[in-house]
Amino acid sequence: MSDEHIDEVSGVSTTGHEWDGIRELNNPLPRWWVITFYVTIAWALVYTTAYPAWPMLTSATKGMLGYSSRKDVKNDLAAAEAAKGKYVAAIQAKSVSEILTDDALREFAVAAGAAAFKVNCTQCHGSGAQGSKGFPNLNDDDWLWGGSPDQIKQTITHGLRFASDPDTRLSEMPAFGDIITADQIAQVSAYVASLSGKVRDASLIQPGAKVFAENCVACHGDNAKGNREFGAPDLTDAIWLYGSGETAIAAQVRAPKQGVMPAWVGRLGEIKVKELAVYVHSLGGGE
Amino acid sequence: MRDKTQLTRLETETVNAAKTRKPLYAARQKIFPKRASGNFRRFKWLVMTITLGIYYLTAWLHWDRGPFAPDQAVLLDLTNRRFYFFFIEIWPQEFFYVAGLLVMAGVGLFLITSAVGRAWCGYACPQTVWVDLFLVVERAIEGDRNARMKLDAGPWTARKLMLRVSKHAIWLVIGAATGGAWIFYFADAPTLVGELFTGTAAPVAYITIAVLTATTYTFGGLMREQVCTYMCPWPRIQAAMLDENSLTVTYNDWRGEPRSRHAKKVQASGQSVGDCVDCNACVAVCPMGIDIRDGQQLECITCALCIDACDGVMDKLGKERGLISYATLSDYNANMMLAIAGGSSSINPSLVRTAVGTFSDQVAHFHIRKIFRPRTYVYMGLWSLIGLGLLYSLLTRDRLELNVLHDRNPQFVTLSDGSIRNGYSVKLLNMIPEPRTIVVTMQGLEGADMVVVGDDIPAGRSFAIPVEPDRLKTLKVFVRQPADQIHAPAQTFKFRVEDKASFESNEYAATFNAPEAAK
């Protein structure tokens, strides 16, 4: 095996291994390849010393540079927070209506509010804030509790009918199924529907108006325009939270559904709530 | 006739000699190209001056674009995503102009190659130009071919060390200057040069210089011809571009063979003898280290220095120039047939000559007509077509544009009075470096009006808004149409933008959605 054997055809020495008369040529590796190979070995040593690499019994070597990807993330997050700091401080110091007057601040708040909205609000209000039956559309210009920047902020801060917040917005429409007769319900529903559209039986409107005057004006007002103090909806417009038409209105008169919204300030903090208010206000219906 | 024997034969060996055909994996054989002189060398100096001049100086040219845009003639402003080339400014979405230019460069390369062979490789390729530059330095420091070979073979003396260190130092300086010139295309050059030397430039500037210094030094100084032979794809592709009417650097063995160093003696013995005196001058000057007399080969970059070298020798011998020349394969073949009498004998150069020693009338010479043939017409046509298309597109392009994104979620909103509102993100692109007041108007959609979020513009069908120079302005626009005017769940209308001063305008067809029930 040790005898050097030269291949006759190519003139190259062989490795000395032989399989059924076939020998393997011992061509040297290209020099650039060999150099690259040694460089990678040297590089591997340097790299694994500098960075966390070698597995030990319970952990791994830390590396001389003290690098860790978690620290990187932490630094990145800190840098992002620092970059936002100027805006966040301004948002903290200003009221929602003041934020709206500052273009740069408003844009920042809208972007931040949109992100917070996606996480916290879309579950009920929808990803486009378009709402659904029972959950108000925040894009429109009809507001149960007021659409000014500070009113929106108030609603987000303390929620609606949210028992554990003492400052929550509170109101309750009685279930008129126990108070007035079924006929009266049909009449008042016809009257309410007639305020913004056509009704099936116009003869119900007149008595309905009487029922309305006796039972409903306290909250919904003489002209049925509603009252934001109690979150009483405007019954003359085109927007119906629980559906339009006499049937839907009658159902709501008989046994009203009333939504609950949690108070968000404890969970999101003052700044996020302001950003959300700015975002909701910017959706197009803000007053 | 002068005595030919006074020419000294230069000892050379080719790296790919046909005789030996060594394997491809082999240690590099050092090449020590001798200095050439002649027409092609002069032309190469000229090309080198122009190309290096363009590369190093263009970044420093100024072009006044007014107070709202940089005044650097050629600038790739990556931070702001604006690209300036003299009178042209392009935005990222107009980058297809660059793609078009690259296609033109490709077709142009085909054209040049099919007409005059690898002229790009031989004269204008950065690899060739920089290797030439590095060789200038090498010759200036270490001397010409023989001195360099002697130095290389000799022991490491203080002198050798000094020469080598200074050579590599100058190469590195050239490399750094090359990398340095590159970055000036990406930032304001005078500012950046100040920052560079005070150490306050962006890290990417230093990294770029370091990388380009390394590549220039390695490719131009250390690897040289190996880049062309082993790394570049073009030598492989060129075969598809060349045909029998393409000019290539050719050894005209129909007049050169049989070569002999002792022509007189051979002639005296009654044998025919060609013009080639086997002086190896052509091999000595070759930067690729090849022998052109082995025929057209992959390694040949057609720099034509062998032509210069051979012409010099022919001049000394009092023979016609052009033993090595630019020739087409068809001419070469015709002449070869002449020299071998149609295949009946080995090469006999006397067959191409008249009794008095001049070339016979039958010898084919290159005619300019050969450049114009269907193939080159196709390339020229294609090239011009793309060029004209780009030019037309450039001259008629919009500098005031708008893009409209219709809100999808929600598509429409019912308002308390029953009217329907749609939201749009309207993007106004003021693509000139001047501030402009742009008038946005709605066309169609009866009874509708629009408001801009965050702006005190009253609801209406038209508003004027200032847009900063060279910027995009995004507006959130709400369009509202009363319920009784809605006649379809999807109506089309137009946003029109207009610059009243320049009469430029543009339109965007948008859709207005409403619930089915509202119509």
Is residue A130 less than 8 Å (CB to CB) from chain B?
A: yes
Domains and CATH numbers, chain A: 1-67 (no CATH), 72-168+263-282 (1.10.760.10), 176-254 (1.10.760.10)
Q: Taking the C-alpha atoms of A143, A149, A154 and A156 in order, what is their torsion angle to the nearest 10 degrees?
A: 80
Residue A17 labeled ligand binder: no
* Residues in chain A closer than 8 A to B453 (CB atoms): 282, 284
| Domain presence at residue B391 | no
Q: What percent of chain A has pLDDT over 70?
A: 99
- The continuous run of DSSP H or E covering B183 comes out as helix B158-183
Compare A30 and A74 and report the one with higher pLDDT. A74
Residues B262, B220 share a domain: no
| Averaged pLDDT of chain B | 89
Same domain, B202 and B275: no
Looking at the fold, whether B474 and B431 belong to one and the same domain comes out as: yes
Domain limits at B46? 31-239
Residue B382 falls inside a structural domain: no
* B316, part of any domain: yes
Which of A139, A142, A198, A279 is best to mutate for the B interface (most B CBs within 10 A)? Answer: A139
- Given a contact cutoff of 8 angstroms between Cβ atoms, the answer to whether B431 and B400 are in contact is yes
| Short-list A187, A200, A173, A184, CA closest to A255 | A173
Would you call B482 exposed, middle or buried from its count of C-beta atoms within 10 A (0-12, 13-18, 19+)?
middle
Helical H runs in B58-157?
A: 96-116, 119, 126-142, 145-153
Same-domain status, B68 and B203: yes
Q: What is the pLDDT of residue B341?
A: 80
Q: Compute the average pLDDT of residues A141-157.
A: 93
Residues B340 and B428 in one domain: no
Tens digit of pLDDT for each residue in A191-234?
999 998 888 888 999 999 999 999 999 999 999 999 998 899 99
Q: Touching check for A222 and chain B: CB below 8 Å?
A: no
Nearest CA to CA, how far is A282 from chain B (Å)? 7
Does any domain span residue B376? no
> For residues B307 and B314, what is the distance between their CA atoms, to the nearest angstrom?
10
A181 touches chain B (CB under 8 A): no
Q: Is A219 annotated as a binding residue?
A: yes
Kindly provide the b/e burial profile for residues B110-120, where b requires at least 16 CB atoms within 10 angstroms of the residue's own CB: bbbbbbbbbbb
| Pair B66, B178 in one domain | yes
Nearest CA in chain B to A128: B409
Handedness of CA B440, B444, B450, B453 (dihedral sign): negative
- A31 touching B, CB under 8 A? yes
- Last residue within a domain, chosen from B193, B221, B239: B239
Q: What percent of chain B has pLDDT over 70?
A: 96
Contact B25 A103 (CB under 8 A): no
Look at A128 and B409 and tell me if their CB atoms are within 8 Å. Answer: yes
Contact B410 A128 (CB under 8 A): yes
Is B345 found in the same domain as B258? yes
Residue B6 inside a domain? The answer is no
Per the domain annotation, does B171 fall within a domain? Answer: yes
- Kindly state whether residues B151 and B35 are assigned to the same domain: yes
pLDDT at A1 over 50: no
Q: Is residue B18 part of a domain?
A: no
Q: How far apart are CA B231 and CA A108, in angstroms?
A: 51
B21 touching chain A per CB within 8 A: no
What tens digit of pLDDT does each residue of B453-463 get? 877 788 899 99
Among A30, A103, A139, the residue with its CB nearest the CB of B413 is A139
Q: State the Cα–Cα distance between residues A241 and A239, nearest whole angstrom.
A: 7
Residue B253 three-state SS: helix
Q: Which residue of A has its CA nearest to B23?
A: A10
Give the mutation candidate from A198, A278, A283, A287 for the B interface (greatest B CB count, under 10 A): A283
Q: Among B239, B261, B278, which residue terminates a domain? A: B239
How far, in Å, CA of B136 to CA of B127, rounded?
Answer: 14
> Which range (A46-60, B8-22, B256-270) has the least confidence?
B8-22
Longest dimension (CA), chain A: 122
**Tens-digit pLDDT profile for residues B128-166:** 999 999 999 999 999 999 999 999 998 999 999 999 999
Residue with tokens 């708040």: A109
Inter-chain CB proximity B415 and A106 less than 8 Å: no
As beta bridge partners, residue B475 has: B426
Confidence category of residue A25, pLDDT binned at 50, 70, 90: confident
Distance between CA A100 and CA A105 in Å, rounded? 7
Whether B187 has a pLDDT exceeding 60, the answer reads yes
Query: Is A124 annotated as contributing to ligand binding?
Result: yes
Return the pLDDT at B23: 60
CB-CB under 8 Å, B25 with A140? no
- Whether residue B104 sits in one domain with residue B51: yes
The first and second tokens of residue B326, run together, are: 């630019």
- What is the predicted pLDDT for the residue at B518? 47
Residue A12 or B492, more confident: B492
Query: DSSP for chain A?
Result: --S--B-TTT--BEEEEEETTEEEE-PPPPHHHHHHHHHHHHHHHHHHHHSS--B-SSSB---TT---HHHHHHHHHHHHHHHHHHHHHHHHHS-HHHHHH-HHHHHHHHHHHHHHHHHHTHHHH-TTS--BTTB--SSSS--SS--SHHHHHHHHHH-BS-TT-TT-B------GGGTS-HHHHHHHHHHHHHTTS--S-GGGHHHHHHHHHHHTHHHH-TTS--BTTTTBPPSSSS--TT-SSHHHHHHHHHS-----B---HHHHHHHHHHHHHHHHHHTTT--
CB contact under 8 A, B407 and A103: no
What is the mean predicted confidence (pLDDT) over B258-268?
Answer: 80
Residue ending a domain, choose from B184, B219, B239: B239
Has residue B276 been placed in a domain?
Answer: yes
Is B297 found in the same domain as B362? yes
Tens digit of each residue's pLDDT (9 = 90 or more) over B434-485:
999 999 999 999 999 999 987 778 889 999 999 999 999 999 999 999 988 9
| A67-93 pLDDT per residue, tens | 989 999 999 999 999 999 999 999 999
As for how many domains chain B has, the answer is 3
Please indicate, yes or no, whether residues B138 and B190 belong to a single structural domain of this protein: yes
Q: Does B483 touch chain A (CB under 8 A)?
A: yes
Quote the pLDDT of residue A83: 92
Q: Closest approach of chain A CAs to the CA of B105, in angstroms? A: 34
User: According to the annotation, is A64 in a ligand binding site?
Assistant: no
Interface contact flag, A238 B27, Cβ < 8 Å: no
Q: Judge if B232 and B254 occupy the same domain.
A: no
Residues B23-68: tens digit of each pLDDT: 655 677 889 999 999 999 999 999 999 999 999 999 999 999 888 8
Q: Residue A286 pLDDT more than 70?
A: yes
> Residue B514 sits in a domain of what CATH number?
2.60.40.10
Q: pLDDT tens, A161-198?
A: 999 999 999 999 999 999 999 999 999 999 999 998 88
CA distance B417 to chain A (A): 6
